[in-house]
Structure 1
Amino acid sequence: EQNPKQWWKAMKELIERLYSFPASPSRKNLDIIAIDAMAPTVLPVDVKGKPLRNAIIWMDRRAMAEHRAINESLNDLVFEIGGNRSDASNFAPKARWIKDKEPETYLKTAKFLSANGYFVRRLCGTDCLDISQCGLSQLCETPRGIWSETLIDRCGLDREKLPEISECTDIVGTVSGIVAAEIGIEPGVKVIAGAMDNAAAVLGTGTIADGSLNISAGTASNVNLCTRVPHFTHSFLAYRHIAPGCWIHAGSVDYGGAGYKWFAGLLNEGDYGSLDARAQAIRPGERPVVFLPYMVGQRAPLFNSRTRGVLFGMDPAMSDGELARAFMEGNAMGMRKVLALMGEFGVEPRACRLTGGCARSSVYSQIIADVLNLEIHRVGRSDSAALGAAMAGAKAAGYFDSYEEMIQAAAVSERHHPNPMLRMYYDELYHLFERLYHILEPEFEALSSLTQNKELK
C-alpha cells in the first residue's frame, strides 16, 4: 500500500525543485501537465475526491480469493471480452477485495481511481481512467476501450463507482486557482489524462514502429512488443499504446530490477558502481549460480502468485560479486523466457531498446545483451516514462504533429553487442533455469501453504 498524500507531497517538492534550476523556464510558461504512474493501482475516493484508504499498488496480490471467485463466475468471459487473463494484481479483484473486506469503505466510495487518475482529480477535479489501463482493469472491452457492463456486473461491482475512460492525450481539465497556489504554478494550466508508467516508458524510448521491442527494466522488468494490430493471448497482457493505432504486448519479471536493489541493501551497499564492478570481475561459468528472480509472484507470462526467489548452486566460497552477477543474470533469464514466448507473434527482433534503472549500468546492460543474444540499445535517458509523458503532453498541446517528430529525444546513448563466445554457456544456463522453474513450480504452492492460517504451537 501507499499513502496518496505522500504522492502529492512528492509532486509539490518536485515542482519546486524543477523551478529551482537557473535554466528553468518561468512558471508562467507552463502550458500542460501530463502524468504517468504505476498500474494497476486502486484508490477509492469519496465525492470530494478524498482518499478513503491507502492505495493498493500493482505489486499487491492480496486479492487471490476474489480473483478465483471472479474466474469461477466468468470462466473465459474475462479473456473473451477483455482480451487478457484474470490476475490478482488487476483492478477488478482489488476493488472487489475492498467491497468484501472493507464494506464501509466501498459504500463511501464515489470513484475508484488509478494512481495518475488521483493526480488528475486533485489538479482539475475530473475523474477519468486513461485508455492505456483498460487492459489491466479486467472490466473493459479492451479492443474498443469501453467499460463492459457484463464484466462489471459479474465482478460484483457498480458502474457508477468507475470513472469515464479517456484517451491518454485528452485534455480533461485545467488547474484551479486554489490548487495552482498550493503547488506553485499558474492557474489554468491544461491537464491530460496521462498513462500508466509502462506505456509512457515505451513511448519515451521511441518504440512505436510495428514489431519494435523495448525493455523497461525498473522495479519490474517489462518486455514490450509494439504492434499495429492487437494480439490477445493467454500468455501476455495487451493494452493500448499512447500513440494512436499502436498496441503493447507485455510480459514481465516482476521485481526483476528490484531484486538487485534488495540484494545491495542486504550488503548495505549504497554504491551500485562498486557492486557492478565486482560482478563484472566474475568470469561467466567459473562457478555458476542460478537465480530464479520471481520473488513476489508473477503476472504475464507465468501468472503464478505463489512464486518466490531461489538461489541454486551456492557454496561457502561464493563472493558477493558472484551473487550480484547471479541476480543480474537471473533477471535477464526471466526476460529471455518472456522473449521466447513472444515467438508466438512471429516477430524476431534483432535489437531492443533498454531503459529503466538497470539501464544505468553498463555491466548490467551487457549481461542482458549476452543472455538474450540480442543487440541492446541503451536509451540516453533512464527515466523514459517521464519523457513519454512529456511527449504525450507536447502532442496534446499541439507542439508536434506526430510522435515520430519527437523520437530524437529518445536517442540511443550506447549499444551493447552480445558476446558470441558466451552464447553456448548462456544457452545451457537458460535451459537449466527453465528446468528449475518447472521442477519447483508445484513446490511454490506447497511453500505458501505452510504459512497460511498456521501458528507455531
Structure 2
Amino acid sequence: MYFIGIDLGTSACKFLLMDEDGVIANVVSESYDVEYPRPGWSQQNPADWWEAVRRGIPALLVGHDASQVAGIGCGGQMHGLVALDADDKVIRPAILWNDGRTVEQVRYLNEEVGTAKLLEWTGNIAYAGFTAPKILWMRDEEPDNYARIAHVMLPKDYLNHLLTGAYATDVSDASGMLLLDVATRSWSAPMLELCGLTAEQLPHVFESYEKIGTLLPEVASELGLPEGVVVCAGAGDNAAAAVGTGCVGAGSMNVSLGTSGTVFIPTAGFSPVGDRIHSFCHADGNWHLMGCILSAASCNAWWMGDVLGTDDFAGEQAGIDAADASLDLPYFLPYLMGERTPHNDTLARGAFVGMSMSTTRADFTRAVLEGVAFAIRDSVEIARSLGVDVAASTVCGGGAKSPLWLQMLVNVLGIELRLPTTEQGPGYGGALLAAVAAGVYPDVAAACDAVISVRATVAPDPAVVAAYEARYQAWRQMYPALKPCFAQIGA
C-alpha cells in the first residue's frame, strides 16, 4: 500500500511516495515561478500548481504499482488567497504568504477594529501575510474582482478541490487566515461579517487527518491512479512538516529552514499569546505556538544567486568557522520581504551592518546565515518568556542540509538539534496524514511513533554559545534602531 505526500511550496511542488511502513519509495519535484509585480508584492498562478501535479504524480509512479496507492495528503504554503468565481475559475493570481501589500488593511484591523477583538474572535492579531487582510485589500483595491468571489480557498485546498471536487480546508491551514476561531476550530462569525463573506463562500473545516473525498474519476484516469484513492484534508506546510518530523505532543519543537523559517511548538491546549507569536491548531488535533520569519533559506538563495551569481553553496561556505563569533564581524538583518514575528513590520528590509575594510566575501556569507539564525532565536525567546521549556528541537528544510548553518543555529539557540531520518518534512507529513485517513494508523501520534526516527544530533558548545550570546544581544538592537529608517524608505 502506498501514500502520496504533496508539498506545495513557493518555488516548487514536491511529491513523495511512501509505503505503509513509512519507507520512501520515490520523490520528484516540479518547479514554477513567483511573480513580484511591485516591491514587497508576491503572487502566483494557481494553474502552475495544477500543472505541477499533472506532471509530478505520473513521474512519481514510474516503476511502481500505482494500483497500490491508497491515499493522498497535501502540505501547502499557508495564507495564500485563491479566489474562485461561480464557475470555479480563478479570479486573479493567488496573493502569497510573503506578500506585503496589505499594510493599510492590517493597520485597520489591528488599530481600528482592535487587537483585543481580533484575539477574542480568532486568537490572533492581523499580519500582512494572513488571508483576511488580502480579502479586504481586494475589496478596497479590486472591487470588481471582490464582487465575483464565490469561494475563498487556500493553495493546497485548491489542489484538493481539483482532485476531489470538495470545498474543504483543515484546521491548521485555516488558523492562518484570521477567519477561524482557533479555540473552537470553527469559522469566526464576526470576522466573516467584517470581510463581507458568508459561510457558504468558505470551505468546510476538517481535521487534517480526516477524509474529504476520493479522486474524481477523470482525475484518477489522467494521473494514472485508482478511483478510490482517499484524499485527506492535509495541513499547512508548517504543521505538515511538524508531523513529518514527529513534532506532536507537548514538549517537542521543530525548526524549519525553508524559504521561510519557522519555530513550531505543540501545546496541550489553546493559549492565545498576543501580538508576538501565533497560536494555531495543530494537525494532530491539538494546538501549537508558531513563530515565522518571512525570509530564511530564501536569504541565502538571494545572496548566492542574485548577488554572488553562483550556485556553489558548499564552496562559498567552505572555510567559514562556525565557532568564530567575534563581535567585529558584520551582521545581517534578514528582512528581505518585511518581517512577521515578532516585529509584524511589512516595511522592514534587509541590511548589512558593521562592515570594515577587512570584511571579506566569506564574512558576508557567514552574516547571512547567522542573521537568519538570530531571527529564529527571536521566536524561541518569546516562547521561553511564556514559560515554555525549550530544551531540544528537530530541524528540517533545505537550510538544514548545511553543516555550517546547523552548527551556527545550534550555538545561537543553545539547544540540541535532532535531524530526522527522513528530510521530506511537509510531504512526509502529508503522506502520514493520508495513512491515518485511510485507517492504517489510529491517529497522528501513533503514525509518527511507528515510522519516525532521528539519524543524528548536533550539540551546542558552551563556549561558542556564550560568544553568540554577545553577538545576538548586539544584533537585536539593530532593528529598533533602523525601524524609523525602514518606515521612511517605505513611505
How does the TM-score come out when normalised to structure 1? Answer: 0.93
Give the letter for the 2:106 counterpart: H
Q: What are the residue-to-residue correspondences of 1:166-181 with 2, within 5 Å?
A: 166-181=206-221
Q: Specify the alignment match of 1:454 in structure 2.
A: none
Among 67, 78, 81, the alignment partner of 2:106 is 67
Q: Is it true that 1:38 corresponds to 2:77 in the alignment?
A: yes
The answer to whether the 8 Å contact 2:91/2:145 transfers is: yes
> Whole-Å Cα distance in 1 between the matches of residues 80 and 188 of structure 2?
19
Counterpart of 1:251 in 2: which secondary structure?
A: strand
Q: What are the residue-to-residue correspondences of 1:97-108 with 2, within 5 Å?
A: 97-108=137-148
Q: Specify the alignment match of 1:302 in structure 2.
A: 343
Give the letter for the 1:101 counterpart: E
**Cα displacement string for residues 335-358 of structure 1 (whole angstroms, at most 9, x for unaligned residues):** 111111111331222211100111
Q: Specify the alignment match of 1:182 in structure 2.
A: 222
Count of residues in correspondence between the two structures: 445
Instruction: Quote how far apart the aligned CAs of 1:274 are.
Output: 1.3
> Whole-Å Cα distance in 1 between the matches of residues 76 and 405 of structure 2?
25
Q: Specify the alignment match of 1:434 in structure 2.
A: 476
> Whole-Å Cα distance in 2 between the matches of residues 73 and 288 of structure 1?
43
Q: 282-291 or 44-53: which moved more? A: 282-291
> Whole-Å Cα distance in 1 between the matches of residues 96 and 289 of structure 2?
21
The answer to whether the 8 Å contact 1:281/1:321 transfers is: no
Q: Specify the alignment match of 2:36 in structure 1.
A: none
Among 353, 358, 378, the alignment partner of 2:394 is 353
The answer to whether the 8 Å contact 1:298/1:304 transfers is: yes
**Cα displacement string for residues 168-196 of structure 1 (whole angstroms, at most 9, x for unaligned residues):** 12211111121122223222322111111
> Whole-Å Cα distance in 2 between the matches of residues 418 and 442 of structure 1?
36
> Whole-Å Cα distance in 2 between the matches of residues 380 and 321 of structure 1?
31
Q: What are the residue-to-residue correspondences of 1:305-384 with 2, within 5 Å?
A: 305-384=346-425
Instruction: Quote how far apart the aligned CAs of 1:367 are.
Output: 0.7
**Cα displacement string for residues 360-404 of structure 1 (whole angstroms, at most 9, x for unaligned residues):** 111111110011111111223332111111111111111112334
Instruction: Quote how far apart the aligned CAs of 1:443 are.
Output: 2.1
Among 256, 263, 268, the alignment partner of 2:296 is 256
The answer to whether the 8 Å contact 1:131/1:165 transfers is: yes
* Poorly superposed stretches of 4+, deviation over 4 Å: none
Cα distance change on mapping 1:316 and 1:382 into 2, 3 Å: farther
The answer to whether the 8 Å contact 1:375/1:415 transfers is: yes
> Whole-Å Cα distance in 1 between the matches of residues 359 and 135 of structure 2?
45
Q: Is it true that 1:194 corresponds to 2:234 in the alignment?
A: yes
Counterpart of 1:35 in 2: which secondary structure?
A: strand
> Whole-Å Cα distance in 2 between the matches of residues 404 and 128 of structure 1?
23
Give the letter for the 2:192 counterpart: I
Q: Specify the alignment match of 2:30 in structure 1.
A: none
The answer to whether the 8 Å contact 1:135/1:237 transfers is: no
Q: Specify the alignment match of 2:429 in structure 1.
A: 388
> Whole-Å Cα distance in 1 between the matches of residues 424 and 287 of structure 2?
21
Counterpart of 1:259 in 2: which secondary structure?
A: helix
Q: Specify the alignment match of 1:447 in structure 2.
A: 489
Q: Is it true that 1:114 corresponds to 2:154 in the alignment?
A: yes
Q: What are the residue-to-residue correspondences of 1:81-230 with 2, within 5 Å?
A: 81-230=121-270
Q: 200-209 or 293-302: which moved more? A: 293-302
Cα distance change on mapping 1:341 and 1:282 into 2, 3 Å: closer
The answer to whether the 8 Å contact 2:327/2:470 transfers is: no
Among 331, 334, 347, the alignment partner of 1:293 is 334
Q: Specify the alignment match of 2:56 in structure 1.
A: 14
The answer to whether the 8 Å contact 1:221/1:257 transfers is: yes
Q: Specify the alignment match of 2:46 in structure 1.
A: 4
Higher relative contact order (CA 8 A, sep 6+): 2
Q: Specify the alignment match of 1:237 in structure 2.
A: 278
Instruction: Quote how far apart the aligned CAs of 1:262 are.
Output: 0.7
Q: 287-296 or 76-85: which moved more? A: 287-296
Q: 145-154 or 386-395: which moved more? A: 145-154
Cα distance change on mapping 1:277 and 1:139 into 2, 3 Å: same
Task: Name stretches of at least 5 consecutive residues in structure 2 with no aligned partner.
Answer: 1-42
> Whole-Å Cα distance in 1 between the matches of residues 377 and 128 of structure 2?
24
Q: Using the aligned pairs only, state the percent identity.
A: 29
The answer to whether the 8 Å contact 1:293/1:327 transfers is: yes
> Whole-Å Cα distance in 1 between the matches of residues 223 and 54 of structure 2?
5
The answer to whether the 8 Å contact 2:293/2:376 transfers is: yes
> Whole-Å Cα distance in 1 between the matches of residues 47 and 148 of structure 2?
19
The answer to whether the 8 Å contact 1:282/1:321 transfers is: no
Counterpart of 1:238 in 2: which secondary structure?
A: strand
Counterpart of 2:95 in 1: which secondary structure?
A: coil
> Whole-Å Cα distance in 1 between the matches of residues 136 and 382 of structure 2?
31
> Whole-Å Cα distance in 1 between the matches of residues 393 and 323 of structure 2?
25
Give the letter for the 2:348 counterpart: T
Q: 255-264 or 397-406: which moved more? A: 397-406
The answer to whether the 8 Å contact 1:207/1:214 transfers is: yes
Q: Specify the alignment match of 1:411 in structure 2.
A: 453
Instruction: Quote how far apart the aligned CAs of 1:333 are.
Output: 0.7
Give the letter for the 1:432 counterpart: A
Give the letter for the 1:311 counterpart: F
The answer to whether the 8 Å contact 2:260/2:295 transfers is: yes
Q: 151-160 or 31-40: which moved more? A: 151-160
> Whole-Å Cα distance in 1 between the matches of residues 184 and 416 of structure 2?
35
RMSD: 1.7
Q: Specify the alignment match of 1:452 in structure 2.
A: none
Counterpart of 1:291 in 2: which secondary structure?
A: strand
> Whole-Å Cα distance in 2 between the matches of residues 176 and 409 of structure 1?
30
> Whole-Å Cα distance in 2 between the matches of residues 182 and 392 of structure 1?
24
Higher strand content, 1 or 2 = 2
Q: Specify the alignment match of 1:453 in structure 2.
A: none
Cα distance change on mapping 1:92 and 1:43 into 2, 3 Å: same
Cα distance change on mapping 1:129 and 1:414 into 2, 3 Å: same
The answer to whether the 8 Å contact 1:256/1:294 transfers is: no
Q: 179-188 or 275-284: which moved more? A: 275-284
Among 53, 64, 68, the alignment partner of 1:29 is 68
> Whole-Å Cα distance in 1 between the matches of residues 112 and 477 of structure 2?
34
> Whole-Å Cα distance in 2 between the matches of residues 129 and 403 of structure 1?
18
> Whole-Å Cα distance in 2 between the matches of residues 362 and 426 of structure 1?
17
